[in-house]
A and B are shown apart, each in its own frame.
Chain A
Amino acid sequence: MKTLVIVSHPEMANSLVQNFLKASATPFQDEVTWHDLATIQQLDIAAEQALLRNHERIIFQFPLYWYAAPASLKTWLDTVLTGEFAFSGRMPLQGKSLGVVVSTGIAGKHFQAGGSEQATLSEILRPYELVARKLGMTYLPPLAIHQFSYLTETARQLLLVDYQRYLTQTTFNFEQKVAWFEQQLRHRQSAATDSDQQQQLALLADQLTEQGELLTDLGWQVQLIRQEEGEG
């Protein structure tokens, strides 16, 4: 799966979170295209549309400014998604997925009913969900990053991997999560130069697979008994 990350940030160089995300995506260069709108002087519509066609997952990545994306993303949407491209009968983006990576300077707890923002992020990001729907794309649950500079070191490390998975994991269920980690262990195994470490990584990947299969197997057994007991 190829992923296009469309980054909209007016001050990319000064953004701690965007630079962190960029570095996090670097190991996946073969699968992930980093597309920084700030570096584009004049949008080449055909080239932008070709980028969309050539990727299966499209990510809009931006800081939340006044409950919306910065102007460059709106300009990009209005310029690139022409009626002819999007609806000329071929629906070129149909079946692809659209994700949103949004950073905010406000704690996550404020984005809920009764919170100081009085709205959830799902509500605020609804226009992108509607764009996805209109284009026949699958809308992914957004990845929200709240108050990045206050995150603990461990939280940052977990965010790094969550972000990598958001860009590259095909579907978001627990089984696929285990499979993603196993795949990463295999990559590390083939890249390792030390034979002891290679062995250790292989063993770990095997064990992880085994535990994942055990979980699936237990799930089937439980499901079978539930059905026998009339619980579907």
Chain B
Amino acid sequence: MTNEEWLNQQIQMLKQQATTYEDQAFYEALAELNRALATRIEQRQGELDGRIWNATKW
């Protein structure tokens, strides 16, 4: 399980337990943030790998 999936699982559990509309909204937005965070990490990781393994520098 990736970090993103684990975090999402926790967020969804908390969302289900939420008793107020505001709390539900918070976890909905948090789930979206989690996705955006994972995407950014993946993109930066990808750029880093690409730049480290730059064949023109070998």
- State the A residues within 8 Å of B (CB): 23-24, 26-27, 154, 156-158, 160-162, 174, 177-178, 181, 184-185, 188, 197, 200-201, 203-204, 207-208, 211-212, 214-215, 218-219, 221-222, 225-226, 229
Contact = CB atoms under 8 A, between A and B. Distances in A.
A158 B41 contact: no
8 contacts: A23-B22, A160-B25, A161-B28, A162-B29, A174-B36, A203-B10, A212-B37, A218-B48
Given A181-B30, A184-B26, A201-B14, A211 B3 contact: yes
Interface residues on B, range: 20 to 34
A197 B28 contact: no
B48 A222 contact: yes
Interface string B6-41: 110011011001000111111011101110111011
B3 A207 contact: yes
B26 A204 contact: no
Contacts of A24: 22
B44 A219 contact: yes
Contacts of A226: 51
A215 B41 contact: yes
Contacts of A201: 14
Contacts of A188: 23, 26
For the complex of A and B, the 3 pairs showing the least CB-CB separation, nearest first, are A161-B29, A157-B25, A218-B44
Nearest to A165: B29
Nearest to A214: B41
A197 B48 contact: no
A211 B41 contact: yes
Contacts, number: 80
A34 to B, nearest CB: 16
Nearest to A159: B25
B25 A161 contact: yes
A41 B56 CA distance: 73
Contacts of B21: 157, 160
B3 A229 contact: no
B48 to A, nearest CB: 5
A207 B47 contact: no
A89 to B, nearest CB: 43
Which residue, B7, B13, B22, B38, has most C-beta atoms of chain A within 10 A? B22
A204 B14 CA distance: 10
Contact of A27 (B7, B22, B40, B44): B22
Chain A CB within 10 A, most for which of B10, B11, B13, B52:
B10
B33 A178 contact: yes
Given A157-B25, A158-B28, A222-B48, A181 B33 contact: yes
A157 B29 contact: yes
A210 B41 CA distance: 12
